[in-house]
Structure 1
Amino acid sequence: MDQHVPPLLRRGRSRRLQALRNRASARHRGPARVHRDQAPQLRREADAVVKAQASPARAAAQELAGQVAVVTGAARAIGRETAETLAARGASIVSIDLADADETVAAIESRGGAAVSIVSDVSEEDAVGPAFEQALETFGRIDVLVNNAGVFAGVERRPFWEIPVDEWDRLMAVNLRSVFLCSRAASGPMREARQGRIVNIASNVITFGMANLMHYVASKAAVIGMTRSMARELGPFGIAVNAVAPGLVTTEITVQTVPEEYRKLVADGQCLTEAILPSDIAAAVAYLAGPSARMVTGQTLLVNGGATMGPA
């Protein structure tokens, strides 16, 4: 039951547990070292240690209660699943998307959560500022930012020497500049509060490159570099910055735009050959946004079924 706990920590727990047991039973050995009224309390403490060892704290419900999470691109797919997952853990949600996220908001509110949808272009500086001001006016704070908005589906694959400059600029604006603009806007209230979490959605293509999609690969690789730099700059303010790098996720969009044969080929190349779902990515984001990741920053979490391994 303690297989994932470092040996030193296990020994420390064991010593504490034994000490509690010894104290609780001390009245049965010679001169009383523990007052009779203290024994039941000490036994309860010992039982609590046993319970903690057997069931590590994993209670996700309401671990983000009282916090506010901004999720870009939350109208559908990974963004929507992430927004609903964070809401289920107690966070109030602000969706910022070019599309109206009314369905996301309705789903969250139907379960007793709080959410608002702000229609805005996160790649435009003049739009991002007012969007975050509205988020602050609505909920008064920003604790979590998930930079999920991005372009992939529908991008035409072609050799890099055939990529039009306007297409390059469009991908860089949505996939990269939006991360910069939104992180800059969110970091203000986070720095003032001296706490916060930023999670950037990258891609596992950064680990192996992908032919004929150089602009997409470059944009996501830059997100990883930005994540690490922001982690260093924001760490002194108690703000953690990490990235999640998904493999090919099965969504309505990918089903419509990616041939089934290719999706099967990708899945067969994974160690875990089941389809990667939006919920898998949302769970990774929720971990990085939650208290269990208190000392995790500057990292890239690959969620790709083991398609690639090693540091990103």
Structure 2
Amino acid sequence: MEGELRFMNNSLINKTALVTGGGGPAMGSSHCNKLAELGAHVIVLDKRKDKAQAVSNKIREDNGSSEYITCDITNINEVNEALDIVTNNSPIDILVNHAGISGMSLPFEKVTEKIYDTMMTVNLKSMFFITQKLVSNMKKNNWGRIINIASDFTMYGSPLASHYTASKSGILGLTKSWARELAPWKICVNAVAPTLLKSELTLASVGEEFLNKESKSAPMGSLPNANDVSELVAFLASPSSKAITGQTISPNGGRTIVGI
């Protein structure tokens, strides 16, 4: 394998990874591809069958191992049924909780109960119960990796996104609690908090002028792309991360620098 991850080549052989929201055009599919490069059998979970199938097919075309499942992560019963089927054949060793929504920018006073509940259900509740469903196999094997995708909004707050920021901040709390609770079984739990990414999707959303301005404002001189985030996810999924748990790491080019 070419690139920066050469030292971890084949480090995930005989491991099965499940990526929620794995059919996404930016980070979701990128996480799946990167884990497959390291030898993992990758299960792509997405509510959009065509997207999940396309990512899984691409992995197999590149001589990787993959399958896909489709379900609505806001329906816990539907999720459990789908996971029961897939885990009978492929118990999960690595879980990447990537699925989520950002929603529209809204003043705090205009966030309705429905908007709030949808945000919390997709970004936080579904992650909680998917992880709860899958952690038993990790305990049984005395090994596991759980990587929760948050946001750098949790580090500095953001106007017009209080409901989104609250949902992602909840992920950080779960990450710390799970890290302590699951440590006796050698299960590492960490969060990745991406910043604004350099991508076609972002360009279409915010425009070239804004994206260039934000890139220049980053101390490293540019914004990360989806592959940069996926390389971090892959490291946290690997045996090399065995001493890292309960941490939040933000690949942001220095846009936000916090901690001790």
Q: Give the TM-score, by structure 1 length.
A: 0.78
1:253 is matched with 201
Check the 8 A contact 1:128/1:185 in 2, yes or no. no
Aligned length: 253
> After TM superposition, what 4+ stretches of structure 1 lie above 4 angstroms from structure 2?
none
Instruction: Spell out the pairing of 1:146-165 with structure 2 (5 A cutoff).
Output: 146-152=96-102, 155-165=103-113
Q: Partners of 1:58 and 1:274 in 2: how far apart?
A: 24
1:286 is matched with 234
Instruction: Spell out the pairing of 1:110-149 with structure 2 (5 A cutoff).
Output: 110-139=61-90, 141-149=91-99
Higher relative contact order (CA 8 A, sep 6+): 2
The secondary structure found in structure 1 opposite 2:193 is strand
Q: Partners of 1:142 and 1:135 in 2: how far apart?
A: 9
The secondary structure found in structure 2 opposite 1:285 is helix
Q: Partners of 2:187 and 2:224 in 1: how far apart?
A: 29
- Following superposition, the deviation at residue 188 of structure 1 comes to 1.3
Q: Partners of 2:202 and 2:81 in 1: how far apart?
A: 32
- Following superposition, the deviation at residue 58 of structure 1 comes to 5.9
Check the 8 A contact 2:190/2:246 in 1, yes or no. yes
Instruction: Spell out the pairing of 1:45-124 with structure 2 (5 A cutoff).
Output: 59-76=7-24, 77-100=26-49, 101-124=52-75
- Following superposition, the deviation at residue 261 of structure 1 comes to 2.6
Which digits, 9 at most, give the CA deviation of each residue in 1:142-165, with x for residues without a partner?
11000000102xx22121111111
Q: Partners of 1:163 and 1:309 in 2: how far apart?
A: 29
* Unaligned residue ranges in structure 1 (runs of 5+): 1-56
Check the 8 A contact 1:96/1:120 in 2, yes or no. yes
The secondary structure found in structure 1 opposite 2:192 is strand
For 1:106, give the aligned amino acid.
Answer: N
For 1:260, give the aligned amino acid.
Answer: E
Q: Give the TM-score, by structure 2 length.
A: 0.93
The secondary structure found in structure 2 opposite 1:199 is strand
2:217 is matched with 269
Q: Partners of 2:217 and 2:130 in 1: how far apart?
A: 35
- Following superposition, the deviation at residue 166 of structure 1 comes to 0.8
For 1:203, give the aligned amino acid.
Answer: S
The secondary structure found in structure 2 opposite 1:59 is helix
Q: Partners of 2:85 and 2:259 in 1: how far apart?
A: 38
- Following superposition, the deviation at residue 268 of structure 1 comes to 2.2
Check the 8 A contact 2:11/2:39 in 1, yes or no. yes
Q: Partners of 1:176 and 1:267 in 2: how far apart?
A: 29
Q: Partners of 1:113 and 1:206 in 2: how far apart?
A: 35
